[in-house]
């Protein structure tokens, strides 16, 4: 039997893994559940991703792109006259607006690095990239502190189901910046 050329298969597997984690959590992720969700043979998932950690790394990398897209679409960091605290608070507001499934998924994958060492470099890369991005507007130590505050506020909103308060976020971020 001839092998069918399917250049999108790897991406479909990653997308399926993200959907599975979104619906069932990381505990529900297996090569079998992903293969079924992606409608591909089981061997395809193990061909492209030898281990579940390899698949989770790819999924986390893709999920990290969500927040990066929000940052890029706003473009506020390029203007030195833009109030940084206001801009960051607006980023979070945009990211947390509407359906939070994607944000919850990103944090579930991000926090999975606590138990899965293979994910740690990707999680650290996200925090480092964001801090580097912010370092253009502030010093590196403050940039790292801002990343920690952004994470903390997002986690509080996700875990407590308290609505996001942009004014509070702006105030807290402003204190860290000053």
**CA-to-CA dists, residue 160 to 29, 90, 156, angstroms:** 25, 20, 6
Q: Average pLDDT, stretch 32-54?
A: 94
| Domain of 30, in residue numbers | 1-50
Output DSSP code: residue 82: S
Helix axes 52-74, 31-38, angle to 10 degrees: 60
With cut-offs at 50, 70 and 90, classify the pLDDT of residue 66: low
Q: How far apart are CA 161 and CA 144, in angstroms?
A: 26
Neighbours of 100 (CB within 10 A): 17
**Could you tell me the CATH number of the domain that includes residue 84?**
1.10.357.10
Residues 130, 42, single domain; the answer is no
40 in the same domain as 103? no
- 0.75 surpassed by pTM: yes
Q: What is the mean pLDDT of residues 102-107?
A: 80
Examine residue 57 and state whether it is found in any structural domain, yes or no: no
Residue 161, phi-psi category: left (phi > 0), alpha (psi -120 to 50), beta (remainder): left
Tell me whether residue 39 is in a domain: yes
**How many angstroms separate the CA atoms of 16 and 58, rounded?**
12
- As a whole number of angstroms, the distance between CA 36 and CA 42 comes to 8
Reported as a pLDDT band with limits 50, 70 and 90, residue 3 is low
């Amino acid at each position: 039997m001839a092998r069918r050329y399917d250049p999108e298969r790897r991406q479909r597997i990653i997308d399926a893994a993200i959907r599975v984690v979104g619906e069932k959590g990381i505990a529900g992720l297996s090569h079998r559940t992903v293969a079924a969700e992606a409608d591909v043979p089981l061997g395809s998932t193990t061909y492209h991703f030898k281990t579940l950690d390899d698949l989770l790394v790819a999924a986390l990398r893709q999920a990290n792109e969500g927040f990066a897209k929000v940052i890029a679409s706003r473009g506020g960091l390029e203007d030195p006259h833009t109030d940084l605290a206001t801009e960051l608070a607006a980023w979070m507001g945009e990211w947390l607006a509407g359906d939070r499934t994607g944000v919850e998924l990103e944090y579930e994958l991000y926090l999975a690095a606590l138990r899965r060492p293979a994910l740690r470099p990707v999680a650290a890369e996200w925090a480092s990239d964001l801090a580097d991005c912010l370092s253009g507007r502030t010093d590196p130590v403050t940039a790292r502190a801002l990343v920690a505050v952004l994470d903390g506020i997002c986690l509080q909103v996700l875990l407590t189901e308290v609505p996001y308060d942009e004014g509070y976020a702006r105030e807290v971020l402003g204190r860290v910046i000053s």
